[in-house]
Structure 1
Amino acid sequence: MVDAIVSPLLEQLISISYEEAKQQVRLVAGVGKQVKKLTSNLRAIQAVLNDAEQRQVKEESVRLWLDQLKETSYDIDDVLDEWITARLKLQIEDVDENALVHKKPVCSFLLSPCIGFKQVVLRRDIAQKIIEINENLDDIAKQKDVFNFNVIRGSTEKSERIHSTALINVSDVRGRDEEKNILKRKLLCESNEERNAVQIISLVGMGGIGKTTLAQFAYNDKDVIENFDKRIWVCVSDPFDEFRIAKAIIEGLEGSLPNLRELNSLLEYIHTSIKEKKFFLILDDVWPDDYSKWEPFHNCLMNGLCGSRILVTTRKETVARMMESTDVISIKELSEQECWSLFKRFAFSGRSPTECEQLEEIGRKIVGKCKGLPLAAKTIGSLLRFKKTREEWHIILNSEMWQLEEFERGLLAPLLLSYNDLPSAIKRCFLYCAVFPKDYNLDKDELVKLWMAQGYIEQKGNIEMEMTGEWYFDFLATRSFFQEFDEEKEGTVRCKMHDIVHDFAQYLTRKEFAAIEIDGDEKPFLLTNTCQEKLRHLMLVLGFWAKFPFSIFDAKTLHSLILVYSSNNQVAASPVLQGLFDQLTCLRALKIEDLPPTIKIPKGLENLIHLRYLKLSMVPNGIERLTSLRTLSEFAVARVGGKYSSKSCNLEGLRPLNHLRGFLQISGLGNVTDADEAKNAHLEKKKNLIDLILIFNEREESDDEKASEEMNEEKEAKHEAVCEALRPPPDIKSLEIMVFKGRTPSNWIGSLNKLKMLTLNSFVKCEIMPPLGKLPSLEILRIWHMRSVKRVGDEFLGMEISDHIHIHGTSSSSSVIAFPKLQKLELTGMDELEEWDFGNDDITIMPHIKSLYITYCEKLKSLPELLLRSTTLESLTIFGVPIVQESFKRRTEKDWSKISHIPNIKIQNIVFRSK
């Protein structure tokens, strides 16, 4: 863990020293030497960290030494962050004090001799901190000699990108045929003796043995699904939180939560909900064997229909007995052959038969050390998949880690071996996952953004940080640190961590990361003084009646804060948030989910000058000061009665935020009355944005405003002017414009040469299809609810033969292509559309089209034959287009011959497939 912090610190220190020498600028007297001393000490310590981190598991004194080093490393990180961002803060303050400062050369905090009083004070403050840190690091460096550490080289393996799609369909169930058959039979069998009972079945076995995997097999089995009215999955874990478990059961039954405060009320709700229902409830990972906690659930769940089943997974047989299980299935270790089969699947993937033969003897010895544990075989197999030589396999076989007896009988050993083999940059990315609770759905894209916010991913050359983050994620995935992959639409990838892997991450991070849930009538959570000093990353889940823990105010070194509110939280709507950000000024990532409408947007966000990731429902005033921001999920412009809301920032607040990258949604653009305000947002300068959504929604209008023709004309002009001023950066790849009330979209759309996906949604005044055919990279085009367009023709292509002659001096029709890369076209909700045809035979149109999706175009008479006859077309969907549907549903030779070659056809929910 410590190496994951020390390595990037060294890179930062070296970079700062290089810049100082390059510019030939002295810091406050002696600080340059202090920086070099820091660097020297860290290098000496780094050389022995691999040995220290392996020995800490057995030696308490080494673990304490590493804890000291870790805290000092965090202090260095904070000072360097303060150093780097201080110049930006001073510049902003100078702008506030002197409106003319931008016309003069700006004094550089690090690199310029023109230093005012503030700069001198700030430099001295940072210099003093560095000196104090160096004194601590001196002591730590001297202590290392007592331990006689060995110098062990760390992993130098490069994180080559491996696509995660290959992992998503991988099943973890290996062998277990007997257990699977027994479990399935007990779930489906209904004997006469069981007619009036809800049966409880328990799977008992040690951690990593495969209990959860077996339960997942049952939960997703087709026969099981058809046998029950309702299926509910609840991860219980430790502690046994009655409120959370009750709400999870209700949510599984009903899909939503009732507005109930008392546990008794929740249990009564369950009792009523399951009446006359045959349900299948899985309670995964149950720990406490206290019957007083289980009894209320047992009583209310017995109200289910006969044939209902409760499946429990637990590591303790006493839990199974306490829950009055009718059947207990003991999950034993895998047989040697089953364990070998699972190990081979990972370790030998992609190897030639000759390689496999050469490594089999060593591999079988390693499998013997896995003791029949599926998680151990999978984890160590994933590690060895990337070890090419017999020597590397022998190192793993002979490692002292196998002698460890902590955790679940040696499960720590394969996890530590895999963890120690990770590059330091990826180690810290893995450990960051400890901030999330067990069984949490990790979103790949969000995880990468949070890693970036912490500085875990560095910009290297022209490679985008998001791309590097994806490599890191895939690197961890291929080594089995993640599981249960789910790839959703638009490429969203979610996954989970095995609970043992999660325990392992928490074991390594100790008090630095915490995921805390507060609910019901529990006492407010209190942080101890030790926790306050060490806590760096926190996820806080506030239940329906939870009170905000005031002790968080003292955790002044927090780098991440993720607040999750239960819907309609009644108690947390206190002024407690208003002073929070005056204290937590080290935050780099802040996310507040489901903020109740009764809570005002917190003040003091402008103090978070280190903040790089922000996710809020509304952006408050002062955001323009957060110049380090890289991720801002949504920027909402709000007005009340024609004036900006005092809570929110106007659009010009985006101007200084040129480090924004990835995705950005700007809503409330209908509230912007001045095109200059939009222009001053300098959207085109945010060159790292790749996915942009512009929403022209606005405050609710009065009836008089809605009826005013003059107001409507003014609104059309305003929307067009504001949209034109919001020219996005040229490298944007995905763009969506919504609720646009102008007649024509902006001309800049045609200049977005790297645009791959475009959605135009609710252009209610637009009467002519925009000319989009010249977009050279466009692959997906969605036109939704463009209600005033009556005809689609050559104007949609956006080009004529004369265009090609002008550029190339030739009129070869084969060279003139409209929509050259378009693969998917959607037209939806085109209420007035009657005709669609292309008349220019000199232009090649959509040569790579694969999918046509035409819905709710009730007046449309026909589809263009040119597209229908395309040999590349693989899918055609027609719904809510009655005239066209009727012609094809009759399947006359004339009409059906136009589309019979298309492999997948769906017309008004009727599926046709070509032979």
Structure 2
Amino acid sequence: MVDAVVSVFLERLLNTLAEEGRILNEFRDQFEKLQNELQLMQCFLKDADKQKRKNQTLRGIMTNLRELIYEAEDILADCKLQSMEGNQSSATWLACIYSSKLQFQYQTGKRLKEINEKITGIKQNILSYLSPSMTNETGRIDANIDQMPRWSSPVYDHTLVVGLEGDTKKIKDWLFKADAVIQEIGIVGMGGLGKTTIAQKVFNDREMEDWFERRMWVSVSQTFSEEQIMRSILRSLGDASVGDDRGELLRKINQYLLGKRYLIVMDDVWSLDLSWWYKIYEGLPKGNGSSIIITTRNEEVAKRMRVTEERLHRPKFLDKDDSWLLFRKIAFAASGGECINSDFEIVGKEIVQKCKGLPLAIKAIGGLLLYKSHYREWRRIADNFRDELAENDDSVMASLQLSYDELPAYLKSCFLSFSLYPEDCVITKQQLVHWWIGEGFVPLRNRPSTEGGEDCFSGLTNRCLVEVVEKTYNGSIYSCKIHDMVRDLVITRAENDGFFKTDKGSRHLGINGYIDGKQLMNNHKLRALLSTTKTGEVNKITSRVTGKLSECRYLRVLDLCKSAFEMPISGLLCQVGSLQHLTYLSLSNTHPLIELPSSLKKLNNLQILDVSYCQSLKSVPSYLMNFKKLRILDASHCGSLEYFPKGLGRLSNLEVLLGFRPARSSQSEGCRIAELKNLTRLRTLGLHFKRDDEIGDDEVNALVNLQELQFLTISCFDSHGDGLVDKLDKLCPPRELHELCLQFYTGKVTPVWLNPISLHMLRYLSISSGNLEKLHPSFWGEANAVWRIEGLMLESLSDLQMKWEMVQQAMPSLRIVNASWCPELVSFPIDDVGFRGGVWAKGERRR
């Protein structure tokens, strides 16, 4: 993925050259020469990356180029750091050169010259292996087209299922007929055929939710243990089961399921050694019409798990019509799933025929073509797909490989990020986006970094390379995973392209339960170290790891969320303070984090700091207010945090601020809400109020001019006194607000400003937990004003009364309603469920 490495480095270099004024001519000349050479190479690097799979010599050349770019990037980072240390007052680039650090000047200049000479030679070598057609102007035009994202959000329904209606009905009929013993059902077929999709469709079916009292989904990876399976079952039942042995785990499972009709899905079972399953099976209560669904590629596995021939389902390939329907729903999603050009239809049907009815292959190639708007691009993809199939008759892997080859450079690194996560791991979008921003994978292009990160994520989901697992109530994606066949491709490409290696010297490492200190020893290459544990699991960080962390001097990304430490966490954080290139630090859900030590004040390059869910954290240090590059600060769900320090308004680049707690009038050293008016780049803001004197009479307009603000959360959890409601009633959110969440609001009536005139751009509204009884008359609009709200969530509002007819009248654009635990909403046509596009469905995760 040399084109990706070059793309990231060039953006970083161009930004540096543009921002810094006083640059030593010798260094500027070398960096500008490097910039020119790489820009000339960009138009054919993508083809060279593809060709290296077939040419061992070219592969070696590209590897050398990649390593040189990484080294140049490290030199650039060192120069900027030396500049900051050499002249903190002006912070001009390479101010260190005018000080006593002549050795740094000499060595850096010498090495840059050597890098430039080698890259010039490499360019000629690469060109000698490529045909002229790969380096012509047409290739450059195609590359420019490919770099422009067409959509910054999902453009089709990710739950789309085509041609499996008969399969799901067959399985459901079997489930309804289960007798007194446990019924085993097997879904067997090759990878990419839709086995898991069928099981998910059945598992999430409304009738199945009503039929079974307990439902459990277990993803069985190729590397698993009996204990992990039992813990996964218990997590599905809402029990974290920390510290229990296997005997106790099995006893708990039996206790939870005793006397209940339950459904267990064992997804993607591989091993023929099923001793683990026999032990679990014996501990399950029998009877009551319970069932177990097993999905596997190996029919023998299903039979050994007691599936009879009568309950064995073998999904068929999609027929011609369903294959075309699925393809056009994705490839032509921009036009509502309808092909409006006969030339495109001819090429599309040619491609679909080569997919041989495999849904995963059809979705992958359809997602790729969604981003191709010219006929010549479709024709080229069809020809390349034919060539891939000539080398590998597996249509799924051929389509996935082609999808990877066609990714824009900036998306390749994002895609390879999934190689760090274990099989079947559910990953939050937030962690991915933060990582990509921190390591510079996201091209900024004069836009907010968070917006760019969201675009990258949508680029992968729209291409069907990433599967959606969980959404928020408004339809935005919360978590995801990748198909095991996609993971096979990711791991192969990550290893071949030097993104992730299990041995020493990897640039990216995941912490899955624990990490070997040897992998950190003298690892100057390491760029990212992240927690990749599955849901409900905890990392164990040893003192050996802590001692080696400071040796990873070029580390950009450090995510230690959900970690337990053998030593005091303060010792670890002192080591982190030496990582001056760090841009993203997550200590989320680490205990007991009481304070951030002064050693972290050296992290002047920090862009993202996440200390959310650190319940023992008492304060935010004042030195954070000097981190001018900080874009994201998340201190949400920190129960012991009193207030933020003064100076927050100086963080002019801040885009996301969560968990902000303003100081009271008596806390002179704390930050007042008035400082927020200076944060003009804020896109997401989370406020937590407890008392009325946290909002002064002259501060009620503090938010009104935050024109970039799109998402606002106001929480009054654990608030005191009645005066806070009066203050909040006077608060003025910006008119351009896109989404509003009110949590634990203590008033009986909604604020007067919550109306379709004051918030005329509002699209999503969530009100949860509190004393709310009714909505202010202004909520329903005046002078024929109506809401533009598309999604509404009402949760845990035991006293709220409102009429469904009035909601329909005031919100004509409403598409999503999610209401739960609101017993007084008697006129709503729902029973503790949600309404979405005409279909009643269970509520989804809150933002």
Q: Quickly say closer, same or farther: Cα 1:276–1:516, change in 2 above 3 A.
A: farther
Q: Deviations over 1:503-532 (max 9, x none)?
A: 32333222534674644xxx8645548994
- Corresponding residue to 2:685 among 692, 696, 699: 692
What's 1:493 paired with? 477
- Measured in 1, the distance between the counterparts of 2:770 and 2:186 equals 56
1:731 aligns with 2:707: yes
- Measured in 2, the distance between the counterparts of 1:534 and 1:595 equals 26
2:601 aligned partner, one-letter code: E
Q: Deviations over 1:233-278 (max 9, x none)?
A: 122223114443221110112x121232433432333243333333
- Measured in 1, the distance between the counterparts of 2:48 and 2:5 equals 14
Given that 1:525 and 1:549 are in contact with CA atoms closer than 8 Å, whether structure 2 keeps it comes out as no
SS at match of 2:218: strand
Given that 2:331 and 2:369 are in contact with CA atoms closer than 8 Å, whether structure 1 keeps it comes out as yes
- Measured in 2, the distance between the counterparts of 1:907 and 1:400 equals 49
The alpha-carbon deviation at position 116 of structure 1 amounts to: 5.3
Matches within 5 A, 1:668-817: 669-670=663-664, 673-675=666-668, 677-678=670-671, 683-697=676-690, 720=696, 730-731=706-707, 733=709, 735=712, 764=723, 770-771=729-730
What's 1:666 paired with? 660
- Measured in 1, the distance between the counterparts of 2:830 and 2:338 equals 46
1:605 aligns with 2:564: no
Normalised to the residue count of structure 1, the TM-score between the two structures is 0.72
What's 2:231 paired with? 247
1:662 aligned partner, one-letter code: V
Q: Quickly say closer, same or farther: Cα 1:248–1:773, change in 2 above 3 A.
A: closer
- Measured in 2, the distance between the counterparts of 1:369 and 1:405 equals 11
SS at match of 1:6: helix
Q: Quickly say closer, same or farther: Cα 1:468–1:739, change in 2 above 3 A.
A: closer
Give % identity: 24
1:6 aligns with 2:1: no
Q: Deviations over 1:722-753 (max 9, x none)?
A: 96797786436355555599xxxxxxxxxxxx
SS at match of 2:687: strand
Given that 1:365 and 1:397 are in contact with CA atoms closer than 8 Å, whether structure 2 keeps it comes out as yes
- Corresponding residue to 2:49 among 46, 53, 56: 53
The alpha-carbon deviation at position 787 of structure 1 amounts to: 6.5
SS at match of 1:190: coil
2:176 aligned partner, one-letter code: L
- Corresponding residue to 1:615 among 610, 616, 619: 610
Q: Quickly say closer, same or farther: Cα 1:306–1:149, change in 2 above 3 A.
A: farther
Q: Quickly say closer, same or farther: Cα 1:904–1:333, change in 2 above 3 A.
A: closer
Given that 1:764 and 1:785 are in contact with CA atoms closer than 8 Å, whether structure 2 keeps it comes out as no
Q: Quickly say closer, same or farther: Cα 1:503–1:562, change in 2 above 3 A.
A: farther
- Measured in 2, the distance between the counterparts of 1:832 and 1:300 equals 46
- Corresponding residue to 2:199 among 200, 215, 219: 215
SS at match of 1:209: coil
- Measured in 1, the distance between the counterparts of 2:661 and 2:342 equals 60
Given that 1:243 and 1:263 are in contact with CA atoms closer than 8 Å, whether structure 2 keeps it comes out as yes
1:456 aligns with 2:448: no
- Measured in 2, the distance between the counterparts of 1:680 and 1:690 equals 16
What's 1:79 paired with? 75
The alpha-carbon deviation at position 657 of structure 1 amounts to: 2.9
Q: Quickly say closer, same or farther: Cα 1:397–1:559, change in 2 above 3 A.
A: same
Q: Quickly say closer, same or farther: Cα 1:316–1:393, change in 2 above 3 A.
A: same
What's 2:842 paired with? none
1:378 aligns with 2:363: yes
Matches within 5 A, 1:182-331: 182-190=170-178, 195-196=180-181, 198-253=182-237, 255-301=238-284, 303-305=285-287, 307-326=289-308, 327-331=311-315
- Corresponding residue to 2:126 among 118, 131, 144: 144
Matches within 5 A, 1:40-189: 40-43=36-39, 45-84=41-80, 86-92=82-88, 106=90, 108-110=92-94, 117=99, 126-127=108-109, 130-131=112-113, 133-134=115-116, 137=119, 140-141=122-123, 143-144=125-126, 147-148=129-130, 151-152=134-135, 153=139, 154-157=142-145, 159-162=148-151, 164=153, 166-168=155-157, 170-172=159-161, 174-176=162-164, 179-189=167-177
Q: Quickly say closer, same or farther: Cα 1:296–1:73, change in 2 above 3 A.
A: farther
Q: Quickly say closer, same or farther: Cα 1:133–1:652, change in 2 above 3 A.
A: farther
What's 1:393 paired with? 378
Given that 2:644 and 2:660 are in contact with CA atoms closer than 8 Å, whether structure 1 keeps it comes out as no
- Measured in 1, the distance between the counterparts of 2:554 and 2:469 equals 33
What's 1:512 paired with? 499
Q: Deviations over 1:62-85 (max 9, x none)?
A: 334333333332333333344445
Q: Deviations over 1:106-155 (max 9, x none)?
A: 36235x7x975267676556545534644664664465366456535253
What's 1:596 paired with? 591
Q: Quickly say closer, same or farther: Cα 1:263–1:91, change in 2 above 3 A.
A: farther
Given that 2:714 and 2:743 are in contact with CA atoms closer than 8 Å, whether structure 1 keeps it comes out as no
Normalised to the residue count of structure 2, the TM-score between the two structures is 0.77
- Measured in 1, the distance between the counterparts of 2:378 and 2:810 equals 49
What's 1:897 paired with? none
Given that 2:270 and 2:298 are in contact with CA atoms closer than 8 Å, whether structure 1 keeps it comes out as yes
Q: Quickly say closer, same or farther: Cα 1:68–1:346, change in 2 above 3 A.
A: same
The alpha-carbon deviation at position 632 of structure 1 amounts to: 0.9
The alpha-carbon deviation at position 633 of structure 1 amounts to: 1.2
- Measured in 1, the distance between the counterparts of 2:806 and 2:382 equals 61
- Measured in 1, the distance between the counterparts of 2:380 and 2:621 equals 55
- Measured in 2, the distance between the counterparts of 1:367 and 1:68 equals 38
1:764 aligned partner, one-letter code: G
1:277 aligned partner, one-letter code: K
Q: Deviations over 1:33-69 (max 9, x none)?
A: 3223322442454343222221233334433433333
1:289 aligned partner, one-letter code: L
Which of 1 and 2 has greater Rg? 1
- Measured in 2, the distance between the counterparts of 1:761 and 1:737 equals 15
Given that 1:764 and 1:787 are in contact with CA atoms closer than 8 Å, whether structure 2 keeps it comes out as no
How many residues are aligned here? 794
What stretches of structure 2 of length at least 5 have no aligned partner? Answer: 501-507, 839-847
1:627 aligns with 2:628: yes
Q: Quickly say closer, same or farther: Cα 1:224–1:371, change in 2 above 3 A.
A: same
The alpha-carbon deviation at position 178 of structure 1 amounts to: 5.1
Q: Quickly say closer, same or farther: Cα 1:222–1:404, change in 2 above 3 A.
A: same
The alpha-carbon deviation at position 878 of structure 1 amounts to: 13
1:452 aligned partner, one-letter code: I
Given that 1:370 and 1:377 are in contact with CA atoms closer than 8 Å, whether structure 2 keeps it comes out as yes
Given that 2:585 and 2:608 are in contact with CA atoms closer than 8 Å, whether structure 1 keeps it comes out as yes
Q: Quickly say closer, same or farther: Cα 1:763–1:666, change in 2 above 3 A.
A: farther
The alpha-carbon deviation at position 721 of structure 1 amounts to: 8.3
Deviates more, 1:765-774 or 1:488-497: 765-774
What stretches of structure 1 of length at least 5 have no aligned partner? Answer: 95-105, 698-714, 742-759, 799-816, 890-902
Q: Quickly say closer, same or farther: Cα 1:166–1:312, change in 2 above 3 A.
A: same
- Measured in 1, the distance between the counterparts of 2:576 and 2:298 equals 44
- Measured in 2, the distance between the counterparts of 1:260 and 1:653 equals 44
